[in-house]
Structure 1
Amino acid sequence: MHLKIRHRTEYRYETPVRYSIQELRLTPPTTAGQQIDKWKISTPIKASSSIDTFGNFYSVFVQESPYTSMMIEAEGEVHTQDAFEFKDDAKAVSPYYLLQQTNLTEPPDEMLGYFASSLPKKNSVDEVLKLATAVQQAIGYVPGQTTFATTAAQSFALKSGVCQDHAHVMLGLCRASNIPARYVSGYFFAEESPNLASHAWIDFCSDIEKGIWISVDITHACLIDARHIRLAIGRDYYSAAPVKGVRTGGGGEELSANISIQQLP
């Protein structure tokens, strides 16, 4: 598919923000399954760009003049095709590092017990997809009940969440099963479900020696395909978030994000 993507993030504040640092992972890489034709990020002031530990493109900008609103926009065109296997280059972090739990993924005993019969015995596609189906069935897709800070344990207790929560629950269970797994942030093209445009899924390592990773969409309990556009990878949401930052001042914050994806001829 040939897709045009526009991602607009707008912040508004009750009182002026005096100082802020914003970190963006809004540039999709050219990799298996996707070719980036053109891509542009617009920020209030010039950002510096680099590559992080996970091989993600990231940009940082610092604002030292007071402001009460801020707009960040990313847009471009991507050609996609079905692909769910990815091979790491030498710069990527060790799969063994991705066996470690984080605060967002740590599974409580109740969660491990609940999924005991579905936990993979080996890092095969069939076994991990079986677990993905179990997670999808247990954690209902219900927008508005969780936030970016909701942990896997909290989402499991609620038995509801969104794609980010599905990914965190799945990461916790894979890592508890001694399978390296990482969070993937990205976009999902579905004309009938525009609320899924901002999406998240996981990669699990199927061959540690060769650095082979397989992408699984927990929300749809399937391998990823041409509808998925990868943005960034990390240990959890925090290290792969498309937009995050810290600030001084500002009082109450109002955030609005709008993502449109359209298929081009």
Structure 2
Amino acid sequence: MHLKIRHRTEYRYETPVRYSIQELRLTPPQVEGQCVDQWKVSTPIKASTSHDVFGNLCSVFAQESAYTSMMIEAEGEVHTQDAYEFIDAPKAVSPYHLLQQTNLTEPSAEMLEFFAASLPQKNTIEEVLKLAKAVQEAILYFPGQTNFATTAAQSFIMKSGVCQDHAHIMLGLCRASGIPARYVSGYFFAEESPNLASHAWIDFCLDIDKGIWISVDITHACLIDARHIRLAIGRDYYSAAPVKGVRSGGGGEALSASISIAKII
């Protein structure tokens, strides 16, 4: 598919922000299954770019003048095709590092007991997809009940969440089963479900020695395909977040985010 994507994030504050630093992972990489034709990230002031430890293109900018609103926009065109297998670059983070739990992924004893019958007994696509289906069926997709700081254990207690929560629960269960797994942030094209445009899923390591990873969409309990556009990878949401930052001042914050994805004929 040939897709045109526009992602706009706007912040408004009650009082002037005195100082802030923003870190963006809003540029899709050139990887198997996706070819980025053109892409532009617009920020209030010029950003510096570099690659982080996971190989994501990261843009950073600091604002030292007071402001009460800020706009960040990313847009471009991407060609996609079905692909769910990815091979690490030579200097990639070791899969063993991605066996470590984080605060967002740490499974509770209750979670492990609940999913015990579905935990992978061996590292295969079939076994991991079986677990994905179990998570999808147990955790109702319900926007608005969780946020970026909700942990896998908290989402499990509520038995509801969104794609981010599905991914965190899946990461925790895979890692507890001895399978390296990483968080993937990105976009999902579905004309009938525009609320899924901002999306998240996981990669699990099929072959540690060869650095072969398989992408699984937990919310749809399937391997990813041409509908998925990758942005960044990390240990959890926090290390792969499209937009994050810290600020001094500003008081209350109102965040408005919109994503449009259109198929170009």
TM range (shorter): over 0.9
Kindly provide the CA deviation profile for residues 208-236 of structure 1, in whole angstroms up to 9, marking residues without a partner as x: 00000000000000000000000000000
Amino acid at match of 2:251: G
SS of residue in 2 equivalent to 1:155: helix
Amino acid at match of 2:203: D
Q: What is the match of residue 174 of structure 2?
A: 174
Aligned residues, how many? 265
Kindly provide the CA deviation profile for residues 21-70 of structure 1, in whole angstroms up to 9, marking residues without a partner as x: 00000000010000000000000000000000000001000000000000
Q: What is the match of residue 92 of structure 1?
A: 92
Q: What is the match of residue 42 of structure 1?
A: 42
Moved over 3 A (4+): none
Kindly provide the CA deviation profile for residues 102-122 of structure 1, in whole angstroms up to 9, marking residues without a partner as x: 000000000000000000011
Q: What is the match of residue 105 of structure 1?
A: 105
Q: What is the match of residue 75 of structure 1?
A: 75
Kindly provide the CA deviation profile for residues 173-227 of structure 1, in whole angstroms up to 9, marking residues without a partner as x: 0000000000000000000000000000000000000000000000000000000
Q: What is the match of residue 246 of structure 1?
A: 246
SS of residue in 1 equivalent to 2:166: helix
Amino acid at match of 1:33: G
In structure 2, C-alpha distance between the alignment counterparts of 1:171 and 1:75, rounded to whole Å: 29
Amino acid at match of 1:4: K
Q: What is the match of residue 234 of structure 1?
A: 234
Q: State the percentage of identical aligned residues.
A: 83
Amino acid at match of 2:165: D
In structure 1, C-alpha distance between the alignment counterparts of 2:58 and 2:8, rounded to whole Å: 17
Correspondence 1:264 to 2:237: no
SS of residue in 1 equivalent to 2:28: coil
In structure 2, C-alpha distance between the alignment counterparts of 1:104 and 1:122, rounded to whole Å: 24
Q: What is the match of residue 52 of structure 2?
A: 52
Amino acid at match of 1:34: Q
**Could you state the TM-score of these two structures normalised by the residue count of structure 1?**
1.00
Amino acid at match of 1:47: A
Amino acid at match of 2:56: N
Q: What is the match of residue 138 of structure 1?
A: 138
Matches within 5 A, 1:154-169: 154-169=154-169
SS of residue in 2 equivalent to 1:213: strand
SS of residue in 2 equivalent to 1:179: coil
Gaps of 5+ in 2: none
In structure 1, C-alpha distance between the alignment counterparts of 2:105 and 2:123, rounded to whole Å: 18
Give the drift of 1:123. Answer: 1.1
In structure 1, C-alpha distance between the alignment counterparts of 2:57 and 2:135, rounded to whole Å: 30
In structure 1, C-alpha distance between the alignment counterparts of 2:32 and 2:17, rounded to whole Å: 41
In structure 1, C-alpha distance between the alignment counterparts of 2:128 and 2:33, rounded to whole Å: 21
In structure 1, C-alpha distance between the alignment counterparts of 2:25 and 2:91, rounded to whole Å: 18
Matches within 5 A, 1:202-213: 202-213=202-213
Give the drift of 1:90. Answer: 1.2
In structure 2, C-alpha distance between the alignment counterparts of 1:175 and 1:74, rounded to whole Å: 33
Give the drift of 1:91. Answer: 1.9
Gaps of 5+ in 1: none
**Could you state the TM-score of these two structures normalised by the residue count of structure 2?**
1.00
The two structures, once aligned, show a CA RMSD in angstroms of 0.3
In structure 2, C-alpha distance between the alignment counterparts of 1:78 and 1:126, rounded to whole Å: 30
In structure 1, C-alpha distance between the alignment counterparts of 2:176 and 2:186, rounded to whole Å: 25
